[in-house]
């Protein structure tokens, strides 16, 4: 059992955007992969929890970005559990380039779900010792609730497709990031660098759900939300852009 876990990733051509940098949706896939591998190592991975009719769900993720790596770069992603806050298991991440420069920091919160009762399960009741590493923090602040901002808004509709579903039959967390980016014109994305993003997953999206995805812009601070046809918010995101 390793309390801190690291893996290298080489940036592939199918994971880059139009500027030759790592797509944020692909980055979220990398983080999910590393978190899952470490969870397996500490005996709380997908297969191990399936035996208990349990599974992890990503609830919130916050990233601070110095820069996004480029095509053919090799990065190292380090991750560790950082204790429990009420029903949330906290996990942090740091991403380094080949020169050992810290280029991305992240913190995340996860919920444990009972697959039979479809209810939250107390993490303490797992009775499996999870390393907490509480003295080490990639981002000190807990990813809290997101409050909408005032400003100009645009919106579009999106219908959930089969290709967006994961093994749990709901939309994988990385697709929400793609929806956020699809709110923008290429000219904006090509000339602005994302400095930070927090995304909160509120109500799972499933096949054939229809969402109104709304972007509100106030200078460099942008807010995105997805609203289901029943009026429930599926997700919220808060972004800070730089030049």
Q: Which CATH architecture has domain 5-126?
A: Roll (3.10)
The confidence band for 19, taking pLDDT boundaries of 50, 70 and 90, is very high
Show me where the domains of the chain are located.
5-126, 152-242
Q: Among 1, 34, 28, which Cα is nearest to 15's? A: 28
Q: Among 76, 72, 96, 104, which Cα is nearest to 7's? A: 76
- Of the candidate ranges 42-46, 100-104, 129-133, 207-211, the one whose mean pLDDT is the lowest: 129-133
What is the spatial distance between Cα 167 and Cα 187, in angstroms, rounded to a whole number?
35
State whether residue 87 is helix, strand or coil. Answer: coil
Mean pLDDT of 49-69: 96
Instruction: Name the DSSP letter for residue 162.
Output: G
Q: Among 127, 131, 89, 123, which Cα is nearest to 4's? A: 131
Phi, psi of 180 (to 5 degrees): -60, -50
Q: Which CATH architecture has domain 152-242?
A: Roll (3.10)
pLDDT for position 89: 94
What is the spatial distance between Cα 222 and Cα 151, in angstroms, rounded to a whole number?
9
Tell me whether the CATH fold assigned to 5-126 matches the one assigned to 152-242.
yes
Average pLDDT, the chain: 94
Write the pLDDT tens digit of every residue in 145-184.
Answer: 999 998 889 999 999 999 999 988 889 999 999 999 999 9
Task: Say if CB 113 and CB 88 are below 8 A apart.
Answer: no
Tell me the pTM.
0.95
**CA distance from start to end of the chain:** 42
Mean pLDDT of 213-217: 97
pLDDT for position 118: 84
pLDDT exceeds cutoff 80 at 243: no
Mean pLDDT of 133-138: 88
The confidence band for 30, taking pLDDT boundaries of 50, 70 and 90, is very high
Write the pLDDT tens digit of every residue in 101-110.
Answer: 999 999 999 9
Per the listing, tokens 């730089």 go with: 242
């Amino acid at each position: 059992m390793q309390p801190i876990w690291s893996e290298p990733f080489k940036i592939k051509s199918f994971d880059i955007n139009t500027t030759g940098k790592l797509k944020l949706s692909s980055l979220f896939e990398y983080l999910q992969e590393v978190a899952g591998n470490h969870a397996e190592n500490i005996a709380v991975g997908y297969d191990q929890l399936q035996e208990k009719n349990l599974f992890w769900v990503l609830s919130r993720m916050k990233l601070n970005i110095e820069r996004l790596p480029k095509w053919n770069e090799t990065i190292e992603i380090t991750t560790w559990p950082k204790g429990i806050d009420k029903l949330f298991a906290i996990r942090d991440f740091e991403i380094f380039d080949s020169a050992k420069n810290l280029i991305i920091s992240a913190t995340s919160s996860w919920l444990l779900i009972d697959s039979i009762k479809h209810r939250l399960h107390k993490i303490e009741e797992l009775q499996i010792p999870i390393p907490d590493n509480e003295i080490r923090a990639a981002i000190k602040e807990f990813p809290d609730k997101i409050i909408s901002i005032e400003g100009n808004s645009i919106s579009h509709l999106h219908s959930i497709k089969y290709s967006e579903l994961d093994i749990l039959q709901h939309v994988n967390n990385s697709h929400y990031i793609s929806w956020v980016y699809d709110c923008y014109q290429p000219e904006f994305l090509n000339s602005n660098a994302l400095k930070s993003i927090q995304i909160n997953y509120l109500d799972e999206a499933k096949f054939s759900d229809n969402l109104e995805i709304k972007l509100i812009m106030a200078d460099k601070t942008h807010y995105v939300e997805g609203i289901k046809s029943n009026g429930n918010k599926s997700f919220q995101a808060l972004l800070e852009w730089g030049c």
